[in-house]
Structure formats: C-alpha cells, structure tokens
Structure 1
Amino acid sequence: MLVDFAAGVGASPLDVEAAAVRAERDGYDGVGAAESKHDVFTALTLAARATETITLQSGIAVAFARNPMSLAVLANDLQLISRGRFQLGLGSQVQAHIERRFAMPWGKPAARMAEFIAAVRAIWDAWRTGERLAFRGEFYRHTLMTDFFDPGPNPFGNPPILLAAVGERMTAVAGRVADGVLVHPLTSPAYIRERTRPVLGETREGFSLSLSAFVVLGEDDKARSKAEQAVRGQIAFYASTPAYRPVLELHGWGDLADRLNHLSRQRAWAEMAGLISDDVLDTFAVGGDVARGLRDRFAGLVDRISFYTPYEVEPELLRELRESVAIP
C-alpha cells in the first residue's frame, strides 16, 4: 500500500500547504485535502507550489457544486501547476447540501455523475485534439469552445479521476468511468470485499482503491481515550447519514443507523457518540497495534491508505505509523 497524509477536514489553505511540505519531507507518497470550510483547489495550488514530488489529491471536490467546464479548467490548471502530480477526487455530496447549501440541481446522482465525468473528459479531449466540442447529455451540454478559451493539450496529460462511492450505483459508476474509487472512512474489510469490489467489476488498468482509515493514536492512556472518544463521535456523525446505512446494515446495525439519524436531527451529538459500542468502534477503527491492524485489514484490499484522526495527534506518532505501515 502507498501511504498518504490526510490534511485535517477543516484545514485552511495555508495549513494544507504546510502539511504537504511536512508530508513530502517525511516520506509520504501523497497528500489529500478535503473540501469543507475552504476551497480544495486553492489549498492544493499552494501545496503544488511548495512541493516537488508528492502526489496531490482532492478528497473530495464536490462535483455537483460545479459544472463540468469549470471543474475541467480547475483540474487542468492544477495538473499544470503541479507538473503532473494531481489526482482529481470527486464526490456527489448529499441532496440537502447540493440543493440547500449550493443551490444546485439534484436528481439521479449516479447517472448524473457518470455524465459529469464523461463531460469533463470530453472537454479535455477537445483541448487535446483540437476537435470540435460536442458533448450532449441528459444533464449537461457543452458545445462551444473557441480558441480564445482553449488552453490546448496539457503537457503532463490529464489527471486521473477518482470517485467517492459507498452505495452500489455510485460504486458501479466508479468502476465504469473513473480511474479509482475513494472508499469512505466508514467502511470495513467485509464491506470492501462483499459490496465494493464485486460491484466494481472489471476495471481499467491502473484502477486504484484509496481509503482514509480511522485510527486511534495517543502517547498514553489518557490521550488514547480522548482519541477514541473523538473517533466514536465521527463514526456516529457519518453513520447518521442515510446514504451510509448499507455499511451498517451489512453488519446488522441498521437500527443503529436509524437511531443516529433521528438524533442528528435533534443535534444530539454527545448522545450519538454514546451509541457507538466497542464492537462498532472496532469494526470501523483500528486501535492497539495500529500498524499491524491496518496491514492485516487492508493489505491487498486497497492500494493507498491514509490515517483519519479527528483529534490532535503528535506528528511523530503519525511518522512512526507511516514507516511501519509502509514496510513490505
């Protein structure tokens, strides 16, 4: 497995830049940045300018908050600036956020995503070949590209497109049209083996699975206890989302998903964390001998892994973990 560094979910662009510099110095293979409080492309542009070799991944950029043309331009520019080190990680987000936060259309998300990615590739192909842009789909139409707006072929090629997927329909889309899948942190080896990989089917050469795995780290019992509580809270938050219910259902915890969803509507975050039992925690997070646990669970299942730590952790602990996990 390649080992990436995951910048904090709420990290500012300057924080991501600094994290990328440290990650490259410490020997990580890549760095991923999320899109929550800040624009992921701004953050990765700074990281690209401050580094030389490390892979840069948007994990994720919200596709449906944009259109294929705007995203094609952003990704093309980041591929240029990074000199070929960019990976375009996309995700759909959920209906409430697309409609109520971004004021963008929603509907048929799997079909829309497949067409979105096809449109981005069609735009890149038009720039590469100089042929007329003529993309016409159910959701998107791109039929105008004049020389003034055409950047031409990217000397570093087009970046790979990775798609975040949990449910079977979006996973199937990833297998058909993407270059890899971003496995959600709320997952388990059983879900990857029984639901993700079979649905992906036969994929193109070089197709990759990337996972940001929950880990419990700390210098002493007090620190580990604090980390464990933070991970319980984050698991509860994700598990309350209806789109992730199939993961819990596989393990017989469908009722827990319903209870968490009900409590989330009341913003009862502390009570939600209390519902995450040790069995649930151990299924979705790795504690104890974390390096061995990650290798035992995910070696051969995923191609890239990063460490999801929704709490403050000493950088030295992460460096030691990276070195241990990276051992063949």
Structure 2
Amino acid sequence: MNRAPSWGVTLPLPGIPLAAHRHIVERMPDLGFSDVWTAEGGGHDAFTPLALAAAWSSRVRLATGIVPAQTRGPAVLAQHAATLAEVAPGRVLLGVGSSVPAHVSDINGIPFTEPFKRTRDVVRFLKRALNGEYVTGPFDTFEITGYRLPWVPVEPPKVIVGALRPGMLRMGFEEGDGAISNLLAASDVPKIVEAVGPQPPGKELVVKVFVCPSDDPHFVRRATRPFLAWILNREPYRRFQEWLGRGEALAEVHRLWDAGDTEGAARALPGEVVDELFVNGTPEECRERIARFHRPGVTSLQLYVSLPPGVAGDPEAVLRVLGQLGPR
C-alpha cells in the first residue's frame, strides 16, 4: 500500500532569522507539515534549530538531514540525539551522512577519509548506543574504549543515512533505519527505490526536494544556479548525477569549474537541469511537481524552500506560500 508520506520543511528558511521562526513552527502542522528538518554544512548547526522547534511545538517531528558523520565524535552524536529524544520522545529522526570535503576538511580541518566506512561505523555505533548498549572495541575507522548513555530514550531515535548511490542507499537500510536522498528529479525516484530494494516495515525513505516558488525564470536562475554549480561539482554529487544519466548534460559545467571559472560554470548549467533539480513555478505549480516525488516506497518529502522576493520579511506571507506548497 502506497501510504501518504509525511511532509517537512528545512529550517531555518533562507532570509529569516532563526528566532523569528516560532510562529512558522507553531503553524506548520495546521498546513499539513509534520516534520521540521535541518541540515549542517557551513552555517547553522543541525541541533539548535531542532531544540527550539521542540520548545515551540509538541506536534512536529524533529529530523536532521543530514549531520556529517566525521565532524562530531560518535558519542557526541548519540548524546545530541538522546537529549532531543528526552524532550521530544518518539519525535526524533537522526540523519547522518558522509557530507563533502568542503564541509569536513576545508572548514573543519578533519581528513575526509573512507567516507562510506566512517558513516557505516557511526550508524552501527549509534544504533547500539541509542538502544542502551555498552559499546566498546574497534570499528574500522575508530575505536571506542567504552561508552554507555547515562539514560536510554523511551523511544530510541531512528538513524537514517544520507545516501546518493546504491551502496550507501543499501547500507542505510541494512545498518540503519533507512535513507535520505537529494538533488534529484521526480523522474529519478524510481531508480532510487530500485537501488534500495525491498523495504522492511518501519524503515524510512526520505526525498529532499529543492523548491523555488517563483514563476519569474530570471529570478529562479539567479537564485539557484550558484548553489547548483557549487554542489554539483562536489565529487559525490558529480558521480551521483552521472549515475542518474546527467553526465553529458553537465560536462561543460564540470570543465569550466575545474578550470577555475565558477561563474561560467553556473551560467553553463542547462535550464532543463535547473528545472529538474530545483522545482520552480507558481506555488500551485510547484505543489503539483512536488507531489510527483511521492512514489511507492517514499515515506517522507523534505522541502528546502528558497523564498521569492518580498516574502521572507512577512511571516504571514511565508505561511501562505508554505500552505500553497504543502499537502493541505
């Protein structure tokens, strides 16, 4: 049975101060959004917005999508998740992943080595620790002398894996509680589902959808091309898009980026690729396109919303846009 997915929004929304999100979080469930998601790279950390959301609303699920597996110790990640679970029992979903060298090595000075094994080892540790086990001994990428959480969450948080290609997708379901994928078109979702294979009950397959609710194509291109050019030239995303079949369409983008012409690389992004990877149009058109990401096997849709001009400063306007994008 293809049940309706949960819908969530990535916070903080661009252009809105974190402290100004309370009214938005409080109203999200009335608009059909059950999840508050965060991500972590070079800006806001993943856990502070979720702690605020937990204080602002008892009706939303709190989810990271994702936290890098390398930039915190395994026990610290377990502590973060367990602390959130203490104040929001049954409402925490911990997404971890390999991230990219720009967020691990370039700004944190941590070697980006064996990302698959590191992520797998962190997931193995978290699953054991969050269930109250005493964890000790060597993993492939680190060694734990001995750790047990001082208290065990009443309902341990699910642990899912940020995953792009088949190996990481399967690992998320075999070692953890599922996977979250992003930077893909609705037409790519069946390939993700096929790579996952049979999904046991209770596992999560989350799709992160980038959305720019504007029918001004010039604004959409200006707002989205710099980000897309940057992320599509991170090695994991290069290989992901090649696997999805966009290698030829992005070849010139990669050539210019490798030559140091970042602005040229952004200009070279084909319009059809922008439209596939960053849903745009009127809010109503965007909602229709977002709904296409719901395929059998997908349990949650996570929206990253780039707001159109003039909206971010008006909380009621933000809520109107979210209401037009969401399931209600």
If the length of structure 2 is used for normalisation, what is the TM-score? 0.83
Deviation at 1:230, TM superposition (A): 1.6
Tell me, yes or no, if the aligned pair for 1:119 and 1:142 is still in contact at 8 Å.
no
Aligned equivalents of 1:63 and 1:79: distance in 2? 19
Q: Which has the higher contact order (CA 8 A, sep 6+)?
A: 2
Find the counterpart in structure 1 of residue 80 from structure 2. 74
Measured at CA, do residues 115 and 261 of structure 1 come closer, stay the same or move farther in structure 2, by a change above 3 Å?
same
SS in 1 for 2:292: helix
Measured at CA, do residues 124 and 217 of structure 1 come closer, stay the same or move farther in structure 2, by a change above 3 Å?
closer
Measured at CA, do residues 190 and 259 of structure 1 come closer, stay the same or move farther in structure 2, by a change above 3 Å?
same
Aligned equivalents of 2:244 and 2:130: distance in 1? 42
Measured at CA, do residues 135 and 258 of structure 1 come closer, stay the same or move farther in structure 2, by a change above 3 Å?
farther
Deviation at 1:274, TM superposition (A): 2.0
Deviation at 1:202, TM superposition (A): 3.0
Deviation at 1:51, TM superposition (A): 0.9
Find the counterpart in structure 1 of residue 314 from structure 2. none
The one of 133, 136, 139 equivalent to 1:137 is 139
**Structure 2 unpaired stretches of 5+:** 312-316
Letter in 1 for 2:241: L
Tell me, yes or no, if the aligned pair for 1:176 and 1:203 is still in contact at 8 Å.
no
- Aligned pairs for 1:194-205 (under 5 A) are 194=191, 196-205=192-201
Find the counterpart in structure 2 of residue 121 from structure 1. 127
Asked if 1:152 is matched to 2:151, the reply is yes
Aligned equivalents of 1:57 and 1:21: distance in 2? 16
Find the counterpart in structure 2 of residue 207 from structure 1. 203
- Aligned pairs for 1:84-233 (under 5 A) are 84-125=90-131, 128=132, 132-145=134-147, 150-155=149-154, 157-184=155-182, 186-194=183-191, 196-218=192-214, 221-222=215-216, 225-233=218-226
Aligned equivalents of 2:36 and 2:56: distance in 1? 12
Between 1:27-36 and 1:304-313, the stretch displaced more is 304-313
Q: Which has the higher helix share?
A: 1
Q: Could you list the per-position Cα deviations for residues 266-290 of structure 1 after superposition, in whole angstroms to 9, with x for gaps in the alignment?
A: 6644433322223213332334422
Asked if 1:310 is matched to 2:310, the reply is no
Asked if 1:281 is matched to 2:274, the reply is yes
Q: Could you list the per-position Cα deviations for residues 220-259 of structure 1 after superposition, in whole angstroms to 9, with x for gaps in the alignment?
A: x54x541343233333232222211234324643245443
Q: Could you list the per-position Cα deviations for residues 193-232 of structure 1 after superposition, in whole angstroms to 9, with x for gaps in the alignment?
A: 22x22332233321122122133423xx54x541343233
Letter in 2 for 1:207: K
Q: Could you list the per-position Cα deviations for residues 106-159 of structure 1 after superposition, in whole angstroms to 9, with x for gaps in the alignment?
A: 32211221111111222223xx36xx433431222223247xxx422222x110
Give the total of aligned pairs: 311
Tell me, yes or no, if the aligned pair for 1:6 and 1:33 is still in contact at 8 Å.
yes
Measured at CA, do residues 95 and 141 of structure 1 come closer, stay the same or move farther in structure 2, by a change above 3 Å?
same
Deviation at 1:265, TM superposition (A): 5.4
Asked if 1:244 is matched to 2:244, the reply is no
Aligned equivalents of 1:208 and 1:59: distance in 2? 12
Tell me, yes or no, if the aligned pair for 2:126 and 2:159 is still in contact at 8 Å.
no
Deviation at 1:47, TM superposition (A): 1.3
Deviation at 1:87, TM superposition (A): 0.9
The one of 285, 290, 305 equivalent to 2:286 is 290
SS in 2 for 1:144: strand
Aligned equivalents of 1:118 and 1:242: distance in 2? 25
Tell me, yes or no, if the aligned pair for 2:249 and 2:270 is still in contact at 8 Å.
no
Find the counterpart in structure 2 of residue 29 from structure 1. 34
If the length of structure 1 is used for normalisation, what is the TM-score? 0.83
